[in-house]
Each structure stands twice: as structure tokens, then as C-alpha cells.
Structure 1
Amino acid sequence: MPIKTEDYIKYLTEKVVHYMDTPPEVRKEQRSLHRSAREPWHVRWFGLVPVSVLLWWRQRRRKKEHPHP
């Protein structure tokens, strides 16, 4: 269902007004919270494959360093 142009302009206007009414300190704090909650770059770019390979590699190295008797 397509959005009517008038509704879209109204939505954008509300967003801009809300943004302008928010104090700069609050906006800065929200931005920093959003950045800290983001996933690492390799997960965002490539998904879970690099993470799983990294975990596997670390596990492999630990087993080499401390073999079980």
C-alpha cells in the first residue's frame, strides 16, 4: 500500500520538528548510546561467519597450548 504524498510530508515534518525540539545534549547522548549498541563491523558487514571462524580459531589455539592428558 503506497503512502500518500501528503501523509509522507506530514510524517517527515513531525520527525524534523521532534528532532529540532530535542536538546542537543540529549541528541548527542542518544547517538552515543546507539553507537555503543551496534554490532562490530565484521558482523555488520559479513554476518556471523567471521565470528564463528574467529571463535573456532581461538578454541583451536587454546587446545594447542593446553592439550589434555
Structure 2
Amino acid sequence: MSGNDYLKFMTEQVVSYIDLPSEERKKRKEAQRKQNSLYTTRWFGMLPFTLKIMFQKENSR
């Protein structure tokens, strides 16, 4: 893929994302967060979840 083709592709992706309503963008972000958390739990068990909770508690102090 040449540089111009890649630039065209990325521009199309950005424009299509910007054209989405804000509610749809929020739904996509939330779905991606859920998918990422399921992936880490599936591959690494409860360890990432435990570390995440520990870091959140430390940051809230």
C-alpha cells in the first residue's frame, strides 16, 4: 500500500468516525472496553482485574 493510499484510507476512517452521532461513539467505546476486559480475563485470569482494582484504590487515596 502506498503512502497516498494509506493517507486516503485513514482520512476516510476519521471522517466516518466524526460523522457518527456522539451516542454511537460512546456505545462503541463502551463495547470496546468490555471486549478488552474480557480478553485480558480470558488469557490471564483474575490477575489483571486484581491489579486494576488495586491501582484504582491507590489513586483514589
| Shorter-chain TM-score above 0.5 | yes
Q: Give the corresponding residue for 2:14.
A: 16
Question: What residue in structure 2 maps to residue 37 of structure 1?
Answer: 35
Normalised TM-score (structure 2): 0.58
RMSD: 2.0
In structure 1, how many angstroms separate the alpha carbons of the residues matched to 2:24 and 2:41? 29
TM-score (norm 1): 0.52
Please identify the structure whose Cα radius of gyration is greater: 1
Q: Where do residues 1-69 of structure 1 align in structure 2 (5 Å cutoff)?
A: 3-38=1-36, 39=38, 41=40, 43=42, 47-48=43-44, 51=45
Structure 2: stretches of 5+ with no match in the other structure: 46-61
Question: What CA distance in whole angstroms lies between the structure 1 residues aligned with 2:24 and 2:15?
Answer: 15
Q: For the residues of structure 2 that align with 1:36 and 1:42, how far apart are their CA atoms?
A: 11
**Percentage identity across paired residues of the two chains:** 32
Q: Which runs of 5+ in 1 are unaligned?
A: 52-69
Q: 1:7 to 1:40 in 2, by over 3 A?
A: closer
| Residues paired across the two proteins, number | 44
Moved over 3 A (4+): 40-43
Deviation at 1:10, TM superposition (A): 0.3
